[in-house]
Amino acid sequence: MDIQGWKQRFLEYTEIEKGRSLKTVENYDRYLLRFIRFAKVKRPEDITQDLVREYRLWLNRQSAHEGKKGVPSSALKKRTQNYYLIALRAFLKYLAREGVSVVSPEKIELAKTPEHELDLISSQDLRRLLSAPTGESISALRDRAILELFFSTGLRVSELCGLSRDIDLDRDEFSIRGKGEKVRLVFLSDTAKKAVKDYLAKRTDVDDALFIHIGRGDEKGLAKDKGSLRLTPRSVERLVRHYAVKLGISKKVTPHVLRHSFATDLLENGADLRSVQALLGHANITTTQIYTHVTDQRLKEVYKKYHSGKR
């Protein structure tokens, strides 16, 4: 079988056996296609350590995208380069599993990246943002419910957009299917529950989605177009940014920033890192450890308050 055939089998394995999302499969397809076009090999066995090294050099010299008149705008970030290498390692690991003689995936080391810095907003700006949608229109009620739900649950924007309106608001919790099709429990604050209830009480449409597009002049939320009215992640990102700009918040505010706020709020109030990992749906604790600066700061405060070794 040639390398294209193996790539297709790997993508199907990733989707079915590994249970990865279609978006992940699409990304792997794009990343591997770029490698195959660069390598110009017909068979996986032709991939050598030297070829992988040349590919890494080539990636490091690529631009992220073309600017005006085809001028490269910026170099491909190390983190982005690693996405390509992770896809290649996963492909080689699959091939080895299938008995194909290939370069050991363990020999492909990822590029060192700068320590990830969190984009956070102050607690004051967070409170202002949650209170930004005012009035009793269907759009204001929807936006208020979205913001409150983000901060109450720590949902990813794709998870929030995928919610259905039959969510049980008589309970303080519900299950969500996140990355890798893994199910986790998230919890509703009283404020978030009330915001969602107020919004749904104003809805008169029959669309299954919890959060829908609302047309201009349509304050009843009635469906005017055929098909689903479900909000897309891009629409929700624009919505969050709109309120941040309106309030004059200088930092870039996204749904992921609200997810960060959810996590740091828990840690600042005494939650342990493992619990936050479970609530965020992180498969690996190392992903959650980007928030350790919060616990580090609390440890510093505890030290200053209780340590008796002052000189």
Catalytic (active-site) positions: 156, 179, 256, 259, 282, 291
Per-residue CA distances from 110 to 62, 118, 269 (Å): 17, 21, 35
What is the rounded CA–CA span in Å between residue 281 and residue 305?
34
Farthest CA pair distance, the chain: 74
**Category of 281 on φ-ψ map: left (φ > 0), alpha (ψ -120 to 50) or beta:** left
Question: How many Cβ atoms sit within 10 Å of the Cβ of residue 22?
Answer: 8
3-class SS at 213? coil
Residues 250, 255, 257, 262: is their CA dihedral positive or negative? positive
232 DSSP assignment? P
Which burial class, exposed, middle or buried, applies to 254 when counting CB atoms under 10 A from its CB (0-12, 13-18, 19+)? middle
**Would you tell me the crossing angle of helices 138-153 and 233-247 to the nearest 10 degrees?**
100
- What is the residue type of 306? Y
